[in-house]
Structure 1
């Protein structure tokens, strides 16, 4: 957001400088008018940024020449809208508040004082900025997912090897020196402790609710708690598992 505001500010100041030179060429400099146009442009472009981002996603410049033509038309339309809004505000303020004549009441002068070329350049700069951000975001998400994405769980049953996605596991319970994975496809056994399996799973959707149970929060439909603080979790699969008050903080996060 800070970069976007900086970009808009640069173009607003640039446009203000060009407008100042144009007014001096007419011999009718009006700093109040330039200030009004600058403030209007600053808020206009920042408030339009979200819509420009949507337009950029819909018609990417790199897709085809036709899309470039469409973006050019959109840029001209948005720039003209900014000029019209700014000039209307100038006319109202200069005649009603400051009670003086503005050197750019005509639309021709308005397009030069509030330069349409600079506005168009501002539009395309914001467009390229958002396209650049959108290209970077998926990579950043993949990096994040790469560090947080839980690995598939390797299990065997009847001599066959299976790879389970963590979201397929409904809950896990301990049984002697192994853990039993309850899934919608059936039960699978792994010979390891519940704690080590939980660490291996690395998924935020699983909660340790009992010394003997690890539950996938996505399958929990409702919770029944008794006076002692213990209770039961009712799952969408029809299963019921106990939870202990020792793990009440984990239960609250479900």
Structure 2
């Protein structure tokens, strides 16, 4: 958490500097107001970091143009909320505690004193920081595929590849089917496949990744697609394209 706090501190100080220059241009410098806004911003972004980390996991999974627009909207909304909260606190403290006027009592001055662009940059720097950490975590985990960390109902679990029967995609995540139950991870099926590539896992369908040790039998239909029957009784569809790559060489064994 030290890195996000450092990033937030940098942008808070930058915002104070820009706000100070703006107030100097008006000829009405107000250090008390800048201090209130700085403290509010620091607390706001520190408290928001956990939620931004959650959004970054979805960004890591699906970083296309639509997601960029969504993240931009979230960042703009968070920045505006920070400015509104900060300005309300300024108005309250200036009028009630300090009993003086502030140069930012109108919307335009408030926006320029607590610069929305700097707040938006703070959001995106935090977002990309967490995205980078997520990528490093995936790489690190891929080096040790015997340890797959998952969580469920607030509890942390460490799975071994041999415990996983099959994996399926589900919206913006994957679902790991194991003898212990189902576990959800915010990761693409392709990334997970690379992570367990050396542990007898293979793609049998665009939506499924299967542990070959758990396959009992399979049945083809006329067009080459078909159904996989797992040892635990589960049935999965497979496509002929993936079938050739994954089971084709073992067809004599399973047929």
Work out whether the TM-score is over 0.5.
Answer: yes
1:82-128 CA distances to partner (integer Å, 9 max, x unpaired)? 00000000000010001110100111111100000000000000000
CA drift at 1:55:
1.4
Q: Name the SS of the counterpart of 1:137 in structure 2.
A: helix
Flag the 1:92–1:67 CA change in 2: closer, same or farther, 3 A.
same
Q: Which residue of 2 aligns with 1:126?
A: 126
Aligned-partner Cα distance in 2 for 1:58–1:129: 14
What is the TM-score of this pair, normalised by structure 2?
A: 0.56
Is residue 37–residue 90 contact of structure 1 (8 Å, CA) maintained in 2? yes
Q: Which residue of 1 aligns with 2:55?
A: 55
The runs of 5 or more residues in structure 1 that have no matched partner are 150-164, 168-254
Q: CA RMSD in A?
A: 2.2
1:37-89 CA distances to partner (integer Å, 9 max, x unpaired)? 00000010010001111112224496211111111111110000000000000
Aligned-partner Cα distance in 2 for 1:24–1:61: 45
Worse overlay, 62-71 or 122-131: 62-71
Rg larger in structure: 1
Is residue 61–residue 71 contact of structure 1 (8 Å, CA) maintained in 2? no
Is residue 13–residue 38 contact of structure 1 (8 Å, CA) maintained in 2? yes
CA drift at 1:144:
4.5
Aligned-partner Cα distance in 1 for 2:46–2:2: 11
CA drift at 1:142:
3.3
Is residue 15–residue 115 contact of structure 2 (8 Å, CA) maintained in 1? yes
Aligned-partner Cα distance in 2 for 1:30–1:61: 44
Q: Name the SS of the counterpart of 1:46 in structure 2.
A: helix
Is residue 86 of structure 1 aligned with residue 64 of structure 2?
no
Q: Which residue of 2 aligns with 1:228?
A: none
Is residue 41 of structure 1 aligned with residue 59 of structure 2?
no
The runs of 5 or more residues in structure 2 that have no matched partner are 149-160, 164-255
1:1-254 equivalent positions in 2, closer than 5 A = 1-60=1-60, 63-145=63-145
1:126-180 CA distances to partner (integer Å, 9 max, x unpaired)? 000000000011222333556x79xxxxxxxxxxxxxxx987xxxxxxxxxxxxx
The higher relative CO (CA closer than 8 Å, separation ≥ 6) is in 2
1:166-208 CA distances to partner (integer Å, 9 max, x unpaired)? 87xxxxxxxxxxxxxxxxxxxxxxxxxxxxxxxxxxxxxxxxx
CA drift at 1:7:
0.3
Q: Name the SS of the counterpart of 1:103 in structure 2.
A: coil
